[in-house]
Amino acid sequence: MAAVSDLSDASNQWEFSCDLEVDFESEENASIVYSALAVDKELQPDKVKREMSISDGKLSVHFEAVEARFLRASFSAFVDVLTLATKTIEELGPGVEL
């Protein structure tokens, strides 16, 4: 489930944040997707930050951005690639290394 919050602390440069968690029900599949997505760094790291982690077969991603539009663009692009990686695993089957 994704959640977006607007933090009211004006002194915080990273005013907008979003969390995404995807349960792959397999540590192996979560690791494959993590590895595939970790190579793509944010294009504007001064405006958007992304942190990913894996735990119990779940991929967790935390985004922070200076403006809502940067958060929206980063999140959308990430979900597109996440969808492609997930469909690839589904097509090839579990345990297949990408």
Domains of the chain: 3-92 (3.30.310.50)
- What pLDDT is recorded for position 40? 85
Average pLDDT, the chain: 85
Q: Please report the pLDDT score of residue 41 as a whole number.
A: 86
Q: Does the pLDDT of residue 96 top 60, yes or no?
A: no
The neighbour count for residue 94, using CB atoms within 10 Å, is: 12
Q: Residue 57 pLDDT > 90, yes or no?
A: yes
Closest-CA residue to 50 (of 23, 27, 79): 79
**In the structure, what pLDDT confidence band is assigned to residue 14 with cuts at 50, 70 and 90?**
confident
Q: Confidence class of residue 94 from pLDDT cuts 50, 70 and 90?
A: low
Question: How far is residue 23's CA from residue 29's CA, in Å, rounded to a whole number?
Answer: 10
Percent of the chain with pLDDT over 90: 64
Residue 83 in this model has a pLDDT that exceeds 60: yes
Give 61: exposed, middle or buried? Use CB within 10 Å, 0-12, 13-18, 19+: buried
